[in-house]
Amino acid sequence: MDLATRPTPDGSAVELRIAGEFDLAQLPAFKSASSAVLRDGFSRVIVDLTDVSFLDSSGVGALLGLRRRCRDAGGDLVVQPSTVVRRVLEACEVEGHFGLTVGQTPSPQGVEA
Amino acid sequence: MSDDGARDEVILRVPAKADYVALVRVVLAAAAAIDPDSRDDRVDDLRVAVSEAVTNAVESHKAAGTDSHIEIRCLTHGHEVEVTVRDHGPGFDPDNVPTVPDPEDPQRMFFESGLGLPLMRKLVDKTDIQNCDDGTLVRLVIDTSLSPR
């Protein structure tokens, strides 16, 4: 899994981009990056999963955990899913609770609580 | 895949480590895709279900502190794929897992674990879980030529 973070141009949110497979083996790296984002003061997070080729419930649980932490800090989390990711989120019946975006990077307003 | 009514069998024995879950997925998905009538989306669903079963096994071994291996067996017959995952952990009672809240329930979003078993049941045609003397046996069955559930 490749993982990178960068602030949005206006600095009001951070984009967390993941590529490759997202399962149990990648949780430590994801949790470390998530903690760093929150520690840096960001509570509005855009998780770009458009290049994720595999996701299971380990990854879904990690996304739910990050969403909870963002909301606790006054922000929220938006997910940009690949087809595979969307299928798993739908199968877990949580897609309706994530702000899912398609095709373009959401504006920071898109991650307001 | 054999078309003579015989079953083709693939057996894996892997360390109970997170890094090996992807290896199991790759091998089993490749075995399932040998059937020319298999659908890519169904093989994807099988990959997820297998990943859930093997992940549970890895975490079960970690909880038990055992360094035993996990055994995975894949049988293909026609369009049907049967996968069994055998671990040597402390055992698991599928009837005693917390109930996942309804999708409309706001509490659903705070249910960050325990999603694996419902996901397996959702994605494949049949899921059986048996407690054994020294662990758990998970059996998954899917017809990869059918539309996703």
Question: Would you call A94 an interface residue with chain B, using a CB distance cutoff of 8 Å?
Answer: yes
Q: Alpha carbon of B134 to those of A79, B50, B89, B130: distances in Å?
A: 40, 21, 7, 11
pLDDT of residue B138: 97
pLDDT along chain B (149 residues), means of 10: 73 97 97 96 97 96 92 96 95 74 73 87 96 92 93
CB A25 to CB B111 under 8 A? no
CB B113 to CB A61 under 8 A? yes
Nearest residue of B to residue A95 by CA position? B103
Cβ neighbours of residue A48 closer than 8 Å, sequence gap 6 or more: A15, A16, A17, A18, A80, A105
pLDDT in tens, A44-68: 999 999 999 999 999 999 999 999 9
Q: Residue A72: helix, strand or coil by DSSP?
A: helix
pLDDT by position in tens, chain A (length 113): 899 999 999 999 999 999 999 999 999 999 999 999 999 999 999 999 999 999 999 999 999 999 999 999 999 999 999 999 999 999 998 888 777 776 545 544 444 33
Prediction pTM value: 0.88
pLDDT of residue A98: 79
Q: Residue A6: helix, strand or coil by DSSP?
A: strand
Nearest residue of B to residue A65 by CA position? B112
Closest CA–CA distance from residue B115 to any residue of chain A (Å) = 6
Give the other-Cβ count within 10 Å of B6's Cβ: 10
Both tokens of residue B102? 């309804």
pLDDT of residue A103: 52
CA distance A99 to A84: 16
Interface of A with B in 12-71 (CB under 8 A): 21, 23-25, 27, 54-58, 60-62, 64-65, 67-68
Cβ neighbours of residue A99 closer than 8 Å, sequence gap 6 or more: A76, A77, A78, A79, A106, A110, A111
Residues A73/A47, Cβ–Cβ less than 8 Å: no
Give one DSSP letter per residue of B23-79, joined into a string.
Answer: HHHHHHHHHHTTSTT--HHHHHHHHHHHHHHHHHHHHHHHHHT---EEEEEEEEETT
Residues B149/B49, Cβ–Cβ less than 8 Å: no
Question: Residue B14 pairs with which residues in a beta bridge?
Answer: B70
Both tokens of residue A43? 């509570």
pLDDT of residue B92: 73
Whole-complex ipTM? 0.87
pLDDT of residue B45: 96
CA–chain centroid gap for A60, Å, is 10
pLDDT of residue B95: 74
CB B110 to CB A64 under 8 A? yes
pLDDT of residue B110: 73
| Rounded (10°) CA dihedral B120, B122, B128, B130 | 50
Q: Alpha carbon of B66 to those of A1, A63, B62: distances in Å?
A: 28, 29, 7
Residues A60/A92, Cβ–Cβ less than 8 Å: yes
Give the other-Cβ count within 10 Å of A32's Cβ: 11
Cβ neighbours of residue B131 closer than 8 Å, sequence gap 6 or more: B91, B92, B93
Question: Would you call B25 an interface residue with chain A, using a CB distance cutoff of 8 Å?
Answer: yes
